[in-house]
C-alpha cells in the first residue's frame, strides 16, 4: 500500500494533509525518514508520525441489497449513489474510502459487496479467481422445453459477445419451470445464471447473443454469500465470510 494511503487509513488526516506530513519529514518507516508519498509499505512495517506509532484501522466488508434506481458509483449523478444509502446510517464513517467489488447496472437489484480492501476485491472480480456470481434473470421470451439442453450447452461452451475477442467463460444456466399463469400475463420466464466474469452488461449481452432479452436482473449470490438482507439494507460480513474469498 502507498504510504500516503496508509496514513489516511490509520489517522483522521486527509490525503493532502498526509502528504504534507510526509514532505515535512514527520513520517518514519522502520527507523528511516521517508519523504516520498508513493513509497510502498507493508502493514507489518513500523510507521510513526511525529513519534506516534500508527496502526492501520481494520478493513470493512459489507453486503448490501441494492434497489433499482440506485447507481453503483461514489457520486450521485442522474440517480442516487449506492453510498448515499450508507451515508444515511450514522454508524458508518469514511464512506469515501469504500468501493464496490463488482458493480450492478442501475436497473439491476441484489447483492453488492462493498469494502475498502482492494486486494480482497481482486479475489472477487478477477476472472482467473473463478469467483461465482449467480443472477436470477427474467427473460422476455420463454424457452421451449426441447431447446433447453442446447441452450445450457451454449452457455457452458461460451458465447461470442459483440465487440469481444474471446468467448465468455463457461457459465451455468438453469432454466426454471415456466409458470404458465405468469407467461399468460406476459410476465417473465425465469432462469438462474452463474458466471465467473464481470464484463460490462455481461448478463444482458449473453442473453442478447442467444436472441433473448433480459427484462429483470437480480444478483442473489456471490461465492458462498447468499443475499439475506432486506432491500436497501446492509450488514457487515462475518470473518469467515471474508476469509472465504482469500484464496
Paired sense of beta strands 109-115 and 214-222, if any? parallel
Contact segment (CB under 6 A) with ligand URA among 4-12, 142-150, 195-203, 236-244 equals: 195-203
- The residue annotated as part of the active site, out of 51, 76, 105, 107, is 105
The distance of closest approach from Cβ of residue 109 to ligand URA in the complex, given in angstroms and rounded to an integer, is 9
Residue by residue, DSSP assigns 69-122 as T-BSSSS-SSS-BHHHHHHT-TT---GGG-EESS---TT-EEEEEEES-HHHHH
| Residue 137 interacts with ligand URA (CB under 6 A): yes or no | no
Nearer to ligand URA, 154 or 205 (CB): 205
Tell me the three cell numbers of residue 172.
451455468
| Residue 217 interacts with ligand URA (CB under 6 A): yes or no | yes
Find the binder of ligand URA among 87, 97, 105, 197 (CB under 6 A).
105
Nearer to ligand URA, 7 or 100 (CB): 100
The H or E element spanning position 29 is strand 27-29
Find the binder of ligand URA among 204, 223, 225, 242 (CB under 6 A).
204
The answer to whether residues 157 and 149 touch, using CB atoms and an 8 Å cutoff, is no
Nearer to ligand URA, 54 or 210 (CB): 210
Rounded to whole angstroms, the Cα distance separating 198 from 134 reads: 11
Closest to 108 measured CA to CA, from 220, 188, 224: 220
Find the binder of ligand URA among 104, 137, 191, 222 (CB under 6 A).
104
| Residue 109 interacts with ligand URA (CB under 6 A): yes or no | no
Nearer to ligand URA, 63 or 217 (CB): 217
The answer to whether residues 6 and 56 touch, using CB atoms and an 8 Å cutoff, is yes
The distance of closest approach from Cβ of residue 171 to ligand URA in the complex, given in angstroms and rounded to an integer, is 11
The distance of closest approach from Cβ of residue 53 to ligand URA in the complex, given in angstroms and rounded to an integer, is 43
| Residue 134 interacts with ligand URA (CB under 6 A): yes or no | no
| Residue 202 interacts with ligand URA (CB under 6 A): yes or no | yes
| Residue 71 interacts with ligand URA (CB under 6 A): yes or no | no
105 annotated active-site: yes
Dihedrals phi, psi of 134, to nearest 5 degrees: -110, 130
Q: Where are the alpha helices (DSSP H) in the chain?
A: 3-10, 15-23, 82-87, 118-125, 148-157, 180-184, 202-209, 239-243
Residues with catalytic roles: 105
The contact set with ligand URA (CB under 6 A) reads: 104-105, 108, 201-204, 217
Amino acid at each position: 500500500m502507498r504510504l500516503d494511503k496508509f496514513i489516511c487509513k490509520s489517522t483522521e488526516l486527509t490525503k493532502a494533509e498526509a502528504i504534507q506530513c510526509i514532505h515535512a519529514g514527520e513520517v518514519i518507516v522502520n527507523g528511516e525518514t521517508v519523504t516520498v508519498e508513493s513509497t510502498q509499505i507493508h502493514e507489518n512495517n513500523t510507521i510513526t508520525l511525529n513519534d506516534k506509532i500508527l496502526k492501520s484501522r481494520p478493513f470493512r466488508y459489507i453486503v448490501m441489497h441494492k434497489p433499482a434506481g440506485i447507481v453503483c458509483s461514489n457520486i450521485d449523478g442522474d440517480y442516487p449513489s449506492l453510498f448515499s444509502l450508507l451515508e444515511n446510517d450514522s454508524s458508518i464513517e469514511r464512506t469515501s474510502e469504500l468501493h464496490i467489488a463488482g458493480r450492478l447496472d442501475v436497473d439491476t437489484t441484489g447483492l453488492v459487496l462493498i469494502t475498502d480492501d482492494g486486494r480482497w476485491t481482486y479475489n472477487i472480480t478477477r476472472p482467473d479467481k473463478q469467483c461465482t456470481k449467480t443472477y436470477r434473470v427474467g427473460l422476455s421470451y420463454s424457452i421451449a422445453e426441447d431447446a433447453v439442453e442446447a441452450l445450457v450447452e451454449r452457455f457452458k461452451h461460451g458465447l461470442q459477445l459483440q465487440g469481444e475477442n474471446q468467448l465468455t467463460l463457461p457459465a451455468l444456466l438453469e432454466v426454471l419451470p415456466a409458470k404458465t399463469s405468469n407467461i399468460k400475463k406476459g410476465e417473465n420466464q425465469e432462469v438462474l445464471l452463474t458466471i465467473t466474469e464481470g464484463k460490462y452488461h455481461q448478463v444482458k449481452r449473453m442473453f442478447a447473443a442467444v436472441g433473448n432479452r433480459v427484462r429483470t436482473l437480480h444478483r442473489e449470490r456471490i461465492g458462498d454469500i447468499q443475499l439475506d438482507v432486506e432491500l436497501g439494507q446492509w450488514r457487515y460480513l462475518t470473518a469467515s465470510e471474508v476469509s472465504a474469498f482469500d484464496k
